[in-house]
Amino acid sequence: MTISDSQTETIRRRYNRTALFYDWMDKMISVKLRQKAIQQAEGKVLEIGVGTGANLEYYLPGCQVTGIDFSPGMLEKAMQKQFKAKVPVTLLEMDAQNMSFPDNTFDTVISTCVFCSVPDPVQGLKEAKRVCKPNGRIILLEHVRSENPILGLLMDILNPLALHIIGSNINRDTVMNIHTAGIKPLEMEEYSGKIIKLIIASPNE
């Protein structure tokens, strides 16, 4: 087992535990913002880190959604919400860092609050780029480290706690990770003092 495998195993176990209280705790992203992100998805959609299925009810007719997550505990909750979806949904246990889909499979690859948790976020984003069709879209709604020096420092200090309790990092530079993975942001909207970003990107640089 490599270091990265053991990190992945640790975060997976944490999310199995977090699944027990995630829906109760999850207030960071408003329903309005989730809807805004999800309703831009079209065609064959891959939702990475589908979690407890908080987004499933917002997909618009015409989408066929595949939701993946590496945590069986989170997926179990998503299965309970599957009936709320207006579109066909398939849920699979899979690691975003090593997906089993062929290249260029999906019209839309989407995630909400996931690349804060993926142990190797650049590898996960490279996989998102690989499985997205060249003319497809990658939609990311993510929270990131604050640009405010004091708040940023506070996030750095509190990060080990969030990582330990939930499995999520609160101080990632996801915009830099997107560029490093070779994904090109086309539009970016910022919320909550620029901590939350909605990014529409192309898999082509």
Ligand X SMILES: C[S@@+](CC[C@H](N)C(=O)[O-])C[C@H]1O[C@@H](n2cnc3c(N)ncnc32)[C@H](O)[C@@H]1O
- DSSP 3-state of 151: helix
Report whether 98 contacts 107 (CB < 8 A): no
The runs of H, that is alpha helices, within the chain are: 3-18, 22-25, 31-38, 72-81, 121-131, 149-165, 174-180
Residue from 38, 45, 46, 49 that binds ligand X (CB under 6 A)?
49
d(CA 198, CA 33): 9
Residue nearest to ligand X as judged by C-beta position: 51
Residue among 41 and 114 whose Cβ is closer to ligand X? 114
- Over the window 138 to 177, marking each residue x when it contacts ligand X by CB under 6 A and - when it does not, the resulting string is ------------------------------x---------
- Over the window 78 to 97, marking each residue x when it contacts ligand X by CB under 6 A and - when it does not, the resulting string is -----------------xxx
- As a dihedral over the C-alpha atoms of residue 163, residue 132, residue 34, residue 140, rounded to 10 degrees, the angle is 50
Considering the rule CB under 6 A, would residue 136 count as an interface residue with ligand X? no
d(CA 101, CA 85): 23
Binding range to ligand X, per CB under 6 A, among 48-56, 157-165, 177-185, 195-203:
48-56
Binding range to ligand X, per CB under 6 A, among 70-78, 82-90, 152-160, 179-187:
70-78
Report, in Å, the least distance between residue 130 CB and ligand X.
14
Report whether 117 contacts 10 (CB < 8 A): no
- Residue whose tokens read 């989730």: 34
- Contact residues: ligand X, CB under 6 A: 11, 15, 26, 49, 51, 54, 68-71, 74, 95-97, 112-114, 117-118, 124, 168
